[in-house]
Amino acid sequence: MDFDDRAQLDASQVEDVGRGGGFRGGGLAVGGGAAGIIALIVALIFGVNPGNITGGDDPAGLQPTSDLSAQCKTGADADQSEKCRVVGVVNSIQKYWSEQIQGYSGAKTTLFSGGVQTGCGAADSSVGPFYCPTDKHVYLDLSFFDELQSRFGAKGGPFAQAYVIAHEYGHHAQDLLGTMNRVGQDQGAESGSVRLELQADCYAGVWAKNAVDTGFYAEPFTDADIQEALDAAAAVGDDHIQEQAQGSVNPDAFTHGTSAQRQKWFTNGYSSGDPARCDTFSGGI
């Protein structure tokens, strides 16, 4: 993944609140309860402990937000630093979707460490990356990318990270398109949750196909890049996670789809480059 050195980054699309940051308005928790549950069902890239987004207080202290605009100015910066790379990826993804969705409104990505206060309640890092439809932010602790390798056995890499971010922005697209509201909060192999998640994987693939046209990349993604995404998709499949955690697979508890399904739908998006080919709601998945 090679950014165009001359590409101008818009660092305002990403905020870095540091450790325990993000306490807007005095640290009062907003949401929780139903909103927190909604966020969990629709937002996460893998099944987690529902206790990790709550309406309660976050114990961590307040830290000032670091200003990414000073360090992340061009594509060359995105090639050099992880946080600037996130900025470049987010910029490209939002450029793509802003051209696809009429009246597109942006979603900020909030980088945090440890815990964060969100419109969906307080969250800690064990939740994994998620999209909160209430405040329309993507939340990401960069340490998740280490966990993706150490805990879930993925190979990692810059494009694996881009896939994770693009999946979360796929949820933002679903939110804007009204898809989220049409889906129940059930789980299971054929459930609305799984169909929503697989569509987000497909949307990630669609972005990947069109990313060069957004002007942020010097050249199309390579087969090795795409392999990083497919490898990450397999690592966070419900069957793989369940097998790892409990030694068996229970399709009735699926929320995101199997490793094979996640790879298949990312590939559907990538090979077509067309969001219309991401209909996970009618027919087999």
Binding residues vs Zn ion (CB under 5 A): 45, 197, 200
CB of 25 to Zn ion, least distance (A): 27
Question: Nearest to residue 235, comparing CAs of 254, 263, 208, 268?
Answer: 263
In the bound state with Zn ion, the residue whose beta carbon lies nearer, of 197 and 231, is 197
Q: What is the closest distance, in whole angstroms, from the C-beta atom of residue 201 to Zn ion in the complex?
A: 8
Q: How many residues does the chain have?
A: 285
State the nearest-atom distance from the C-beta of 73 to Zn ion, in Å. 31
In the complex, minimum distance from the CB of residue 97 to Zn ion, in angstroms, rounded to a whole number: 16
Nearer to Zn ion, 176 or 200 (CB): 200
Q: Minimum distance between the CB of residue 131 and Zn ion, rounded to whole angstroms?
A: 7
Closer CB to Zn ion, 197 or 239, in the complex:
197
Q: Is the Cβ of residue 111 or residue 196 nearer to Zn ion in the bound state?
A: 196
CB of residue 179 to Zn ion, shortest distance in Å: 12
**Nearest approach, Cβ of 250 to Zn ion (angstroms)?**
19
Q: Judged by CB, which is closer to Zn ion: 21, or 187?
A: 187
197 vs 228 by CB, closer to Zn ion: 197
Tell me whether residue 10 or residue 147 sits nearer to Zn ion (CB atom). Answer: 147
Q: What is the 3-state secondary structure (H, E, C) of the chain?
A: CCECCCCECCHHHEEEEEECCCCHHHHCCCCCHHHHHHHHHHHCCCCCCHHHEECCCCCCCCCCCECHHHCCCEHHHHHHCHHHHHHHHHHHHHHHHHHHCCCCCCCEEEEEECEEEECCEEEEHHHCCEEECCCCEEEECCHHHHHHHHCCCCCCCHHHHHHHHHHHHHHHHHHHHCCHHHCCCCCCCCCHHHHHHHHHHHHHHHHHHHHHHHCCECCCCCHHHHHHHHHHHHHCCHHHHHHHHHCCCCHHHCCCCCHHHHHHHHHHHHHHCCHHHCCCCCCCC
From the centroid of its chain, how far is CA 193? Answer: 15
- The whole-angstrom separation of Cα 243 and Cα 15 is 36
